[in-house]
Amino acid sequence: MEHIIKVDCLKHIYPDKTEVRACGLAFTVNKGERVIILGPNGAGKTTLLNHIIGLLKPVDGQVEVLGMSPYENFNKLRKHMGVVFQNVDEQIIGPKVYDDIAFTARSEGLKKDVVDKLALDIARKLCIEHLLDKIPHYLSGGQKKKVALAGALIMKPDFLILDEPFDSLDAKSKKEIIQILNTVNQDYNTTLIITTHDVNVVPSIADTIYVINSGEIVIKGDAAHVFSQLEVLKDASIDKPILSELFFQLQQSGIEVDIPFSIEEAKDKIIDMINEGQRV
């Protein structure tokens, strides 16, 4: 399968001389894939995203998006991307929610009825049509995230890039955002590239996980593979998801059981164990 994004041993130096790298294992993304970049604060996740978006010029190494350098082809590639940064407050430019969601479509010069339809469709998909007439700074954190997401999705981009989308959200909002992202991925085949340090959400949204630690991509693989590399995760100061931790402890107590990555999977395993008469 052809990779739509390729990053090869990237190096970036900030004006204050801080050096950030993303080396180690190759970073590649396929069309329609859901990719999670996991790592502690300061690991280089956001720097990697900014290079993929084309906001930064690499000092060394190579970044390719759809076969082009994103920094040199920013305006061409911009139209293929939807981006939601960590601080959504700064991202919401429109004076009202509707204006913000419709911002890119209107800036592209689309006709009013087309813009209206696109904005309403995406607002419905994200269940925020009742907010369209509201003024952004009076919305809750979760609502603001959804508005920013709607603004990024209005033109149905090929890939959606999200920097820490679950940061400071309550459990309900997290669940809703995960559900929305998965729906968008299925309905539009949108490629998702998400950075996070929240391990508990990872299994429900990732096809491929990259773990970054101090500028090195140290693990790549699906949830089962990544969360079985306990030593590497520990080095990267990443906790295991609660479910993995629980079943890992069970393994340590001598119970033969695989580690599940979703509540449903865990429930089935526990029922199986009870049925088989094993001591839990």
Binding site for other proteins (CB under 8 A): 53, 55, 74, 78-79, 81, 83, 85, 87, 89-96, 98-99, 102-104, 106-109, 135-138, 151
Beta carbon of residue 268, minimum distance to other proteins (angstroms, whole number): 43
**In this structure, which amino acid lies at residue 217?**
I
- Decide whether 17 or 172 has the Cβ nearer to other proteins: 17
Q: Are strands 60-65 and 27-30 parallel, antiparallel or unpaired?
A: unpaired
Beta carbon of residue 166, minimum distance to other proteins (angstroms, whole number): 19
- Decide whether 90 or 256 has the Cβ nearer to other proteins: 90
Beta carbon of residue 71, minimum distance to other proteins (angstroms, whole number): 12
> In angstroms, rounded to a whole number, what is the distance separating the alpha carbons of residues 255 and 65?
46
Beta carbon of residue 137, minimum distance to other proteins (angstroms, whole number): 4
- Decide whether 32 or 94 has the Cβ nearer to other proteins: 94
- Decide whether 27 or 98 has the Cβ nearer to other proteins: 98
The 3-state DSSP class for residue 266 equals: helix
Which neighbouring-strand residues pair with 265? none
- Give the side-chain half-sphere CA count within 13 A for 3: 13
- 122, 119, 71, 67: which is closest to 96 by C-alpha? 119
Structure tokens at 132: 């369209």
- 160, 152, 233: which is closest to 197 by C-alpha? 233
Beta carbon of residue 50, minimum distance to other proteins (angstroms, whole number): 8
> In angstroms, rounded to a whole number, what is the distance separating the alpha carbons of residues 80 and 84?
14
- Decide whether 80 or 220 has the Cβ nearer to other proteins: 80
Beta carbon of residue 86, minimum distance to other proteins (angstroms, whole number): 9
The residues near 241 (Cβ < 8 Å, ≥ 6 apart) are 199, 200, 202, 203, 227, 261
- Decide whether 91 or 191 has the Cβ nearer to other proteins: 91
| Residues 81-97: b if buried by 16+ CB within 10 A, e if exposed | bbbbbeebeebbebeeb
> In angstroms, rounded to a whole number, what is the distance separating the alpha carbons of residues 195 and 249?
28
